[in-house]
Amino acid sequence: MKICIPTNDNQGVESNISGHFGSAPYFTIVDTESLDCKAIVNTNQHHAHGMCQPLAVLSNEIFDGIVVGGIGAGALNRLQSANVKVFKTQHRTIRETVEAYKSNALPEVVPHMACSGHGHHDGRDPGLGHGHGRKGRR
């Protein structure tokens, strides 16, 4: 399987997960079996609140789901409308996140888990402290 993970840097499986999907400098496509990574520069990184267009940047990529540290309601709605499953991670690196994903330990993001605005994530603490529960993937 391939998953897309927003990251702050381009360091392969050691890349740090971005705390906010739409503002991530990179979208990294990861093969969960081989751990091969492909980083895509997020050309829509600087956008007005609520105007994130994630599928425009990812339109030429093939992946089975997206794993985020945090995501706004607008981006989540656009992805869900396109039938893209979105999961939440509290891990710091791609390697840790992939292991949790493979163990079905990441919850699927639902609307009440979406972030309300930009600027509350610093990239070191992806979504921690928001009070979101952890539930296994179904």
Residue 118 in this model has a pLDDT that exceeds 80: no
What token pair was written down for 24? 């991530």
Q: How far apart are the first and last CA of the chain?
A: 16
Q: Are 23 and 118 in contact (CB under 8 A)?
A: yes
Considering the entire predicted model, what is its pTM?
0.78
Please, what are the domains in the chain?
Answer: 2-113 (3.30.420.130)
Q: Are 76 and 114 in contact (CB under 8 A)?
A: yes
Residue 53 in this model has a pLDDT that exceeds 90: no
| Per-residue pLDDT reduced to its tens digit, 54-112 | 677 788 899 999 999 999 888 898 889 989 999 999 999 999 999 999 999 999 999 88
Query: What Å distances lie between residue 29 and 11, 50, 52, CA to CA?
Result: 12, 24, 19
